[in-house]
Amino acid sequence: MTDLTHAVAQLSARALTDSDATHWAEIDVLIDNLPVGVALVDAAQNVRIFNRKARQMLDFPDSLFAGRTPSLRELFLYNARRGEYGEGDPEQLADALIERSRKREPHQFERDRPDGSVLDIRGEPLPGGGFVTIWTDITARKRAERDAEARARQLDLVMDNVPGKLSFFDADLRCVYSNKRELVFGGVQTGEAGKTLHELVGDPVYGDIEGYFRRSLNGEATSYQRPFRRPDGSPGYLQVSTTPHRAPSGEVIGLFSLGLDVTGIMRAEAALKERNTELEAANRALATTHQQLVQTEKLASIGQLAAGVAHEINNPVGFVSANLSTLGTYVGHLLALVDAGERGLRDGLPADSPALAAFEAARAAADLDFLREDVVALLGESRDGLDRVRRIVQDLRDFSRAGSHEQWQPASLEAGLDATANIALTDMKHRVTVCKAYSGIPDIECLPSQLNQVFLNLIVNAGHAIADTGTITLRTGHSADGVWVEVSDTGCGIAPEHVGRLFDPFFTTKPVGQGTGLGLALSYGIVEKHGGNITVRSTPGEGATFRVSLPRVRPAAG
């Protein structure tokens, strides 16, 4: 154990045996302020201490500890129910952990939590019974170790895939490093660390090439070509380049050499072109993936913003709505009071009474009949306005309710269409009419916000295709295989020669600077991930219809 772990164990043992309440409180405060998570469990499996750092590391809510310390099994069961221990029945998982804890065996292991953190967990039995468990957050260290390992693997992968024999020789021309290529400076032996250049290539070749390596040790980069025999025995031509390697002081302490088989220039050029094509495809795929990640992060940000907006708006909307309701009641009472007062004046005073005349004048000046009708209308309009605010906030939340960690779940595509259309067409309402032809399709298992992104792309594109005024129609339907959603517009349509390229990355019919050409490509990828497909029908000058067809259940991972 570390010194800190040993000290905590001693302190915990003292806590279990010390009956002095004052000492116990002091120990509790001290442990609660340690930089590590600490749990103290007595021999009866009762949690005596579970400090603040442990609750933070394990993401336990304060409500779990409100008014009392939960039992060890309660903590295990809470973790099991939220998936901390993997799949299985939570009750059985908790019971199994309780059985293991009863053995009171020392243990130390690392655990990756679902939130990405890594904890070092150490447990020690205490002399008087019970045990102490200490959690240390080692996320930063593990991340650094894993990054270093990944970089080392990447470097080895790169070096081993260099198209030639890459080696490093020290100032005595002794091989320090050599990648896994067989080609060696004019010989066919595999380079091995510790061997000299002379041992690797033999006398005949060494006499021809030594001068180039010596010149490189003197600070000069060199290159030479010579005939050689490939490892398979066929003749070839070799090119070797050497580059001096200098210490920070400027002194040459070794050299790098790269041997390349340059036989068949034309074949090499053809392979290079093929490689370039692969790299271009990889770059396009990378750009598409990057854009999708950007869009996903945008949706996550919108979701956070929507939650904040909803919280901030719903509170004042709530009390304004309540006030309006109360105000309506008050207005009703006041109008009833006015009616009662008017009846009293008319019944109790003669027709020529000055007081009655004054009342009639005041009634006419206030235009009481109009006010009676208008105040009710004003209250109704105010309630309608508040309902509209609620719907707008709800649409925004429905559109982006899932962030970058969204899970597959049953969802209504028609509800997603409604929310997305309300968001997408905000600045087009003055020129675009939306028609909905929903058939009441069943919920499907999907990633709702990603499909909302698809609908957003299709609806925005439909709006852009309408130059002046027009109609966007949203349709849904279902079949034995699944469900479908259509977005139709009465815009300019799509030229026949462009239809086959619509889903290609970076292809766009918009003017330069007004489109990335990734919207439909990303949409295609999202729909494909859901096991569905997108088709398009278009007549130039009359509009276009995009249909998204999706299965009802999540496709099997493959």
The more confident residue out of 338 and 37 is 37
* pLDDT at site 252: 94
Q: Give DSSP secondary structure letters for 468-491.
A: SSEEEEEEEEE-SSEEEEEEEE-S
Rounded mean pLDDT, 308-321: 70
Q: What are the residue ranges spanned by the domains of the chain?
A: 3-143, 162-263, 290-399, 409-551
Confidence of residue 1 (pLDDT cuts 50, 70, 90): very low
486, 528 Cβ separation under 8 angstroms:
no
* Of residues 93, 55, 103, 97, the one with CA closest to residue 72: 97
Alpha carbons 159 and 165: distance in angstroms, whole number: 9
Inter-residue contact 164 to 181 (CB < 8 Å): yes
Higher pLDDT, 244 or 364: 244
Residue 40's beta-bridge partner residues?
49, 132
Indicate if the pLDDT at residue 346 is higher than 80: no
Signed CA dihedral, 115, 118, 124, 126: sign only: negative
Q: 97-135, pLDDT tens digit by residue?
A: 888 888 878 888 888 888 888 999 888 888 777 888 898
Give CA–CA dist 342/345, Å, rounded: 5
CA 473 – CA 493 distance, rounded (Å): 14
Q: Are strands 444-446 and 235-246 parallel, antiparallel or unpaired?
A: unpaired
Which neighbouring-strand residues pair with 242?
Answer: 222, 257
> Phi and psi (nearest 5°) for 514?
-110, 5
Q: Which of 129-133, 162-166, 297-301, 488-492 has the highest mean pLDDT?
A: 488-492
The predicted structure's pLDDT at residue 404: 45
* Predicted local distance difference test score (pLDDT) of residue 193: 72
Q: Assign 3-class secondary structure to 111-170.
A: EECCCCCEEEEEEEECCCCCEEEEEEECHHHHHHHHHHHHHHHHHHHHHHCCCCEEEEEE
Top pLDDT among 377 and 45 is at 45
Check if the beta carbon of residue 72 is closer than 8 Å to that of residue 80: no
Residue 297 — very low, low, confident or very high, per pLDDT cuts 50/70/90?
A: low
Distances (CA, A) of 457 to 297, 385, 485, 523: 16, 29, 13, 7
Which is nearest to 532 in space by CA: 546, 551, 547, 519?
A: 551
Provide the 10 A C-beta neighbour count for residue 356.
16
pTM: 0.37
> Residues 316-333, buried b or exposed e (16+ Cβ, 10 A)?
ebeebbeebeeebeebee
Percent of the chain with pLDDT over 70: 81
Higher pLDDT, 483 or 350: 483
pLDDT of residue 15: 58
pLDDT in tens, 227-277: 877 777 777 888 889 999 999 999 999 999 988 888 776 467 768 888 888
- Rounded CA-CA distance 20/2 in Å is 28
User: What class has domain 162-263?
Assistant: alpha beta
pLDDT at 186: 47
Can you tell me the mean pLDDT for 475-481? Answer: 90
Please tell me the predicted confidence (pLDDT) of residue 403. 47
Contact call for residues 34 and 40 (beta carbons, < 8 A): no
Q: Is 526 helix (H, G, I), strand (E, B) or coil?
A: helix
Rounded to whole angstroms, the Cα distance separating 481 from 551 reads 6
The arrangement of secondary structure in 3-143, i.e. its CATH architecture, is 2-Layer Sandwich (3.30)
Give dist(CA 388, CA 381) in Å, integer. Answer: 11
Query: What percentage of residues in the chain have a pLDDT greater than 90?
Result: 17
Between CA 463 and CA 471, with CA 465 as vertex, the angle to 5 degrees is 55
What's the confidence (pLDDT) of residue 402?
A: 45
pLDDT band at 154 (very low <50, low <70, confident <90, very high): confident
Instruction: For residue 146, name the pLDDT band (cuts at 50, 70, 90).
Output: confident
Q: Please report how the helices 354-366 and 265-348 are oriented relative to each other, as an axis angle in degrees rounded to 10.
A: 170
Is domain 409-551 annotated with CATH 3.30.565.10? yes
Average pLDDT over residues 130-144: 88
Q: Which of 5-19, 248-262, 527-541 is predicted least confidently? A: 5-19
| pLDDT for residue 528 is more than 70 | yes
pLDDT the model gives residue 445: 92
* pLDDT tier at 213, thresholds 50, 70, 90: very high
Q: What's the mean pLDDT when you consider all of the chain? A: 80
Instruction: Report pLDDT for 410.
Output: 92
Q: What is the mean pLDDT of residues 322-345?
A: 79
Q: What distance in Å separates the CA atoms of residue 418 and residue 396, rounded to the nearest whole number?
A: 10
Average pLDDT over residues 444-466: 88
Distance CA 15, CA 25 (A): 9
Through-space distance between the first and last CA atoms of the chain, rounded to whole angstroms = 45
3-143 and 162-263, same CATH topology? yes
Three-state SS at 88: coil
